[in-house]
Structure 1
Amino acid sequence: MELEQKLAEQSDSAATTTTTATTNATANQQVEQVAARRQAKSSALAARVERLEEDVQAAQNDPIRIGGAVRMQYKWEDYNDPLKDRGGDFEFDLVRIDYSGEIGDVVLSAQYRWFQYMDTVQHAWVGYNFSEQWQGQLGVTKVPFGITPYNSNSYFFSSNFYVGLEDDHDLGAKLLYRSSDWDFDVAFFKGDEMGGVNGLSPSKADRYAYDALGVRLAGEGLYDDPTALVAESNSVALRAARKYDLAADKSVEIGASWQFGDMNNGTDNIGERQAWAVHGVYNINRWTLMGQVTQYDYDMELAEQGIVVGAYAYYDTIPSKATLYSANLAYSLPVQWGPVTDLTFYNDFSLMTNKRFYTEDTVMNVLGVAVSAGGLYTYFDLVTARNQPFVGGSMSGDSKQTNTRFNVNIGYYF
């Protein structure tokens, strides 16, 4: 019995030893597998991080850049007796913030503005560079029309701006082509930048650029809020410009623009609009000469006395059809007067004539100089005008009197 018991104990001990050895081997194998998996995951993560760093470095682009401006202005008006009596006014103009940047071929640009009486988006779009010549833009983007970027040199633009045909921005898509010889733009705009008749803005006139907002009915005043609302819808815009380099200091641009679209009251299309322009720009040495002829036409189903437009928190009335002429001359003079590095002298002339339902022309002449001094850019403008907004008149006014405004706009840009 003792021998059998000893043999049994030896057998149990051997079995225990074998089991322990097997367990230890299994545990070691599991530890090795976990370590291998961790190493594989770490290697994959490191590879992904390295690839991302390489992509960012290969893009060679700056991050989103933030800029902007702060502007003040002094004004004196001969048609405003209280203002004349106190020697003019010096007032806050605006604060604006700009966003721009690109990662790879994706581009971003946006600008928002705050005035004393309103705030609004100026533009906001995302783009893609298909090649060195082709770019697409989607969002609130500039309508391609006439001389770009501006058909003017002064703070007051040309009269085209006040009928929505200069520096206008709408909501849609645009394709641009740029080369040394040609500029081509084709664009489709679903509506204006504030959402049209069904937009949620508390005031349709709180916007940067002029748009059609209603039909002016008989018996309404030129500055009344519109009762028959209407807005641009499903518009197409085309622009082409041929550029010639005649010499190292001499160049010419000749171009044409056309746009067409519906006028919608929120439910139905109740009219159409179209506009065309031909323009030319001639540069020689420090001189620049710009000229443009523009015509627009609103064909409405309602009996109308003009089109209600709005911007800068107030409404105005424009003729439903008119022809505009503009001619601008500028001379740029480099100087070294302390911080002042450039003086640009200019004279901008605008005429709107052949007005439907209105007989008196709109005339505006701006004689001025722009002073560049580091981040400061200042306009000194002497404006002489008749039936011109911001100079005591309306685009549909019937005044024969000429008004004068002296304006100094001081802006710090960063």
Structure 2
Amino acid sequence: MNFTKKSLVLVAFSFVTVMFSQEKPEVKIGGALRFNYNLSSWKDGQKKRGGDFGFDVFRINAKAKYKGIKLNAEYRFYSQSFGGGMLKQGWIGYDFNEKDNIQLGLTQVPFGITQYNSHSWFFGINYYLGLEDDHDMGLKFTHKGEKWEYAFAFLKNAEELNFGSNSDVSDSRYSYDVASIDIDGDGTLDLRYKETNQLNGKVNYHFGNKNTQHKIGFSAQYGGLYNLDTEDTSSHHAFALHYQLNVKNFDAKAQVSKYKYNTKNTTYKDLIALTAYGAPYLTATEATTYTLGAAYTFPVKWKPISSIQVYNDFGYMGKTAENFEDSIMNVFGFLVTAGNVYTYIDFAAGKDHPWLGPVWTNALANGTPNANWDMRFNINIGYYF
């Protein structure tokens, strides 16, 4: 090998060595520990002892990046009665550029206002119907430009923990998905469905100026509904119109959503089961929801408190089936920020809502005629690291 060839080889080797030595793996570990106090108007024993204060969740977050490939995962540890351990999200991604990204795995469904269509610890009524902060297994492409923002996804199914031919959906999950339930108490599961082969599309348009920002958008999803008993596949779909406003320390969120599950079930007409946090319940197969939330953040200098956000989130679920009672929830509260500690103080009221009243299984389904408003005072304290 002559001197020129040797020089070229050395230069090429040096370039490759420098290039790879400059690109080192990045790993970030974080998480949170949260405690919860609540006092519910429909729990007599709890009222007599002045409410209950206990463990909420311990979570671990992991982010990694190497050679342009990214990892983002969050695993949560709840009490066993609340579902136990569960993966909230976990995906492998790649940034094509500053605007375009692709994710594979347990990723947030691009539907409605994301990341959250609410401000409170309770989320909004859409969350309890699987239409807010939902995460499913699949492939998602996202584009975020100055004016236009859009996302498309193919979601094979919800989180799958049991890979059997006839396995029911596990109740241990963070976001609500179609599942199975024992309606008549005979020990046999009924309404055994699974979500499958879902397509999602979402588009947002930004406009405004430096002080006032608007975002208006449309979302749609369509997928299969597999019956574990009959082995037939029907369909489900949902649509949403959404709007967001940001004016300095004020923000508002509004959304109208319409969904329908075509179960073709004549025995339990107009009913389907959803599950999360270890316990399923029934909901109406068709409804329209209306949500409206607003918040204002006050910067303060009360060491260690740096800001207090005041918010109100309202949600209404209008059910299509005759003789089904509509469901309502409203959450007024405060978010207090003190260093790494975030405290949600919520005054949550509900009518025919499983988490805000004495009726669990049927609240979001047929409901209760002349149901009373029930109240839950809740304080969630979390240290995020």
Q: TM-score, normalised by structure 1?
A: 0.83
Partner letter of residue 350 of structure 1? G
Structure 1 segment 164-179 matched on structure 2, within 5 A: 164-179=130-145
User: Aligned match of 1:210 in 163, 168, 176?
Assistant: 176
Aligned to 1:367: 332
Q: Is the 8 A contact 2:160 2:169 kept in 1?
A: no
Q: 1:123 to 1:248 in 2, by over 3 A?
A: same
Aligned to 1:95: 58
For the residues of structure 2 that align with 1:375 and 1:225, how far apart are their CA atoms? 46
Following TM superposition, by how much is the alpha carbon of 1:284 offset from its aligned partner in structure 2, in angstroms?
1.2
SS at match of 2:26: coil
Structure 1 segment 11-410 matched on structure 2, within 5 A: 51-52=16-17, 54-57=19-22, 59=23, 63-117=26-80, 118-195=84-161, 198=164, 204-214=170-180, 220=184, 226-244=189-207, 246-266=208-228, 268-303=231-266, 304-305=268-269, 306-392=271-357, 393=359, 394-396=363-365, 397-399=367-369, 400-410=371-381
For the residues of structure 2 that align with 1:336 and 1:64, how far apart are their CA atoms? 33
SS at match of 2:47: helix
Following TM superposition, by how much is the alpha carbon of 1:355 offset from its aligned partner in structure 2, in angstroms?
3.5
Q: Is the 8 A contact 2:191 2:273 kept in 1?
A: no
SS at match of 1:346: strand
Partner letter of residue 170 of structure 1? D
Q: Is the 8 A contact 2:34 2:58 kept in 1?
A: yes
For the residues of structure 1 that align with 2:250 and 2:54, how far apart are their CA atoms? 33
Q: Which digits, 9 at most, give the CA deviation of each residue in 1:336-377, with x for residues without a partner?
A: 110111111000000001342552111101000001111101
For the residues of structure 1 that align with 2:162 and 2:220, how far apart are their CA atoms? 21
Partner letter of residue 372 of structure 2? Q
Aligned to 2:4: none
Q: 1:111 to 1:199 in 2, by over 3 A?
A: farther
For the residues of structure 2 that align with 1:199 and 1:379, how far apart are their CA atoms? 43
Q: Which runs of 4+ in 1 moved over 6 A?
A: 44-50, 199-203
For the residues of structure 1 that align with 2:226 and 2:54, how far apart are their CA atoms? 38
Following TM superposition, by how much is the alpha carbon of 1:51 offset from its aligned partner in structure 2, in angstroms?
3.3
Q: Which digits, 9 at most, give the CA deviation of each residue in 1:188-214, with x for residues without a partner?
A: 011111257848999711110000013
Q: Which digits, 9 at most, give the CA deviation of each residue in 1:58-93, with x for residues without a partner?
A: x3x662111000000100011100000000000100
Q: Which digits, 9 at most, give the CA deviation of each residue in 1:115-135, with x for residues without a partner?
A: 012110001100111122111
SS at match of 1:407: strand
SS at match of 1:301: coil
Q: Is the 8 A contact 1:197 1:213 kept in 2?
A: no
Following TM superposition, by how much is the alpha carbon of 1:46 offset from its aligned partner in structure 2, in angstroms?
12
Q: TM-score, normalised by structure 2?
A: 0.89
SS at match of 2:372: coil
Q: Which structure has greater helix proportion?
A: 1
State how many pairs are aligned: 368
Among all aligned residue pairs of Structure 1 and Structure 2, give the percentage whose two residues are the same amino acid. Answer: 35
SS at match of 1:228: coil
Q: Which digits, 9 at most, give the CA deviation of each residue in 1:297-346, with x for residues without a partner?
A: 01122223411110000011110000100000100111111011111100
Q: Is the 8 A contact 2:168 2:179 kept in 1?
A: no
Q: 1:308 to 1:97 in 2, by over 3 A?
A: same
Q: 1:189 to 1:108 in 2, by over 3 A?
A: same
For the residues of structure 1 that align with 2:274 and 2:28, how far apart are their CA atoms? 34
Q: 1:195 to 1:272 in 2, by over 3 A?
A: farther
For the residues of structure 2 that align with 1:138 and 1:200, how far apart are their CA atoms? 25
Unaligned 5+ segments in structure 2 are: 1-8
Unaligned 5+ segments in structure 1 are: 1-43
Following TM superposition, by how much is the alpha carbon of 1:56 offset from its aligned partner in structure 2, in angstroms?
3.8
Q: Is the 8 A contact 2:162 2:168 kept in 1?
A: no
Q: Is the 8 A contact 2:161 2:169 kept in 1?
A: no
Q: Is the radius of gyration larger for structure 1 or structure 2?
A: 1
C-alpha RMSD over aligned residues: 2.7
SS at match of 2:244: strand
Aligned to 1:28: none
Following TM superposition, by how much is the alpha carbon of 1:387 offset from its aligned partner in structure 2, in angstroms?
1.1
